[in-house]
Amino acid sequence: MTAMDHVRYLAETIGPRGSTTPDEARAARYAADVLRDLGLEPTVEPFTSAKSAWHPYVLFSALMLVGAILFWLGGRPGAIAALVLALIAIGSVLLELAFRPNPFRAVLPKGRSQNVWARISPTGAVKTRVVLLGHLDTHRTPLVFSTDAWLRLFKTLVPLGLAASVLLLVMFAVGVGTQGFGWRAASLPLASLLAGILALTIQADRTPFTAGANDNASAVGIVLHTAERLRAEPLAHTEVWAVLSGCEEVGCYGADAFARAHKAELGRAVWIALDGVGSRGRPVYITRETFLVPAPSDPDLVALAQRIAASHPDLGAEGDTFSGAYTEGAIGVLHGFRVLTLTSAPPGGVLTEWHRPTDTVENLDADVLARSEAFLWALLRELDG
């Protein structure tokens, strides 16, 4: 089967694959069956995950708004309570943005998911290990992703919301010692901004899941087809771990669970994350991604990617940075692996049909998918050499 065959099965036969849902589990069973049919020994590892990407930000905005109300109505005791709530909310959301444990994760709804992985041995002694990841789950289709204009607005609202929260925190702290109408009045515009963000995050979780042909059946298809190619044309000294992860869309829970479970054995393995590798445009290797903090790709891997791009101009691959969102590459950096993330995008743009109902097979660029796969194959061969 080709990568596109796998894309069609995931996006059309199974369809939307929300994190922790039965259809995500169905996609995992499909991946395990494909790997087993190749003569590999797939492992299915369950883990516990958040059920929603939006719950932490709903709770964050709600706590800040409750704090603003207490600050307005409660005098000095209200200011104290508001300050405590703001400290919890801001501290938790910053830790969430950094993929770290936090109080929100302890109280928000959870579900069960699973990673599927198989080890593909080389013909000789193992000198290098490569983890090749593609996530199985798909996102919802929120209003804030519905058009390019909405997406630009949302990318502006997120830092504004964090800045407004910090300003409110300062006001609450001042209000503990100084009562005055002016401080309460100044908090209203900031609270109004957070109320708008709260409404948008609540709306997001009321939308259906996307079929996710590009994000991320495209990556799963390439991982599965690359596993098939490696069985037919094994590498000499590089052991490849083909990983189909769950729950990337809600905070990379699957990639994190896999890294924690196998970090000791993998050591300083190469961690290649694939995400949305069939966008209209061109294949992209990410040099640095930034969500809350920068997650730089391994400089040696970036240099290797640059050499491959230069020697294979027909692939049209280019390096680029990525900000305002995350990939599973960020988890690789967090756990100390040597990371390179592969994606695709039009020049100056983002993934096409990102988190939209239109992320279907018809809108996938089969040529970019094929060039992304060819770039990955060249990268694996060079790493082995």
For the residues 364-373, what does the mean pLDDT come to?
98
Residues 376 and 243 in one domain: yes
Lowest mean pLDDT among 105-114, 182-191, 226-235: 182-191
Of the chain, the percentage scoring pLDDT greater than 90 comes to: 93
Q: Residue 336: its pLDDT value, please?
A: 97
Residues 237 and 131 in one domain: yes
Residue 258 has pLDDT above 70, yes or no: yes
Q: Where are the alpha helices (DSSP H) in the chain?
A: 3-8, 22-37, 55-73, 75-97, 103-107, 148-177, 181-204, 218-232, 253-266, 299-311, 329-334, 366-384
- CATH number, residue 243: 3.40.630.10
Residues 39 and 71 in one domain: no
Residues 298 and 254 in one domain: yes
Give every CB contact of residue 180 below 8 A, 6+ residues apart in sequence: none
pLDDT tens for each residue of 277-313: 999 999 999 999 999 889 999 999 999 999 999 999 9
Map tokens 């699957």 to a residue.
254
Q: Residue 352: its pLDDT value, please?
A: 86
Residues 212 and 342 in one domain: yes
pLDDT tens for each residue of 124-141: 999 999 999 999 999 999
Residue 24 has pLDDT above 70, yes or no: yes
Band of residue 180 on the pLDDT scale cut at 50, 70, 90: low
For the residues 195-208, what does the mean pLDDT come to?
97
Domain boundary residue, one of 187, 204, 221: 204
Residues 65 and 77 in one domain: yes
Distance CA 385, CA 305 (A): 14
Tell me what the pLDDT averaged over the chain comes to: 96
Q: Per the structure, how many domains does the chain have? A: 2
Residues 199 and 212 in one domain: no
Residues 260 and 368 in one domain: yes
Residues 258 and 364 in one domain: yes
Q: Residue 184: its pLDDT value, please?
A: 85
Q: Residue 133: its pLDDT value, please?
A: 98
Domain boundary residue, one of 204, 232, 255: 204
Residues 189 and 308 in one domain: no
Show the domain range for 70.
55-106+145-204
Q: Residue 348: its pLDDT value, please?
A: 79
Q: Residue 177: its pLDDT value, please?
A: 77
Estimate to the nearest angstrom the gap between the alpha carbon of 331 and the chain centroid.
9
Band of residue 176 on the pLDDT scale cut at 50, 70, 90: confident
Beta bridge pairs of residue 112: 48
Residue 40 has pLDDT above 70, yes or no: yes
Residue 199 has pLDDT above 70, yes or no: yes
Closest CA to 343 of 216, 245, 175: 216
Map tokens 């401080």 to a residue.
183
Q: In terms of pLDDT, which residue wins out, 74 or 92?
A: 92
pLDDT tens for each residue of 325-348: 999 999 999 999 999 999 999 987
For the residues 225-234, what does the mean pLDDT come to?
97
Q: Residue 349: its pLDDT value, please?
A: 78
Residues 189 and 260 in one domain: no
Domain boundary residue, one of 177, 204, 231: 204
Band of residue 158 on the pLDDT scale cut at 50, 70, 90: very high
User: Both tokens of residue 123?
Assistant: 């013909």
Residues 128 and 23 in one domain: yes
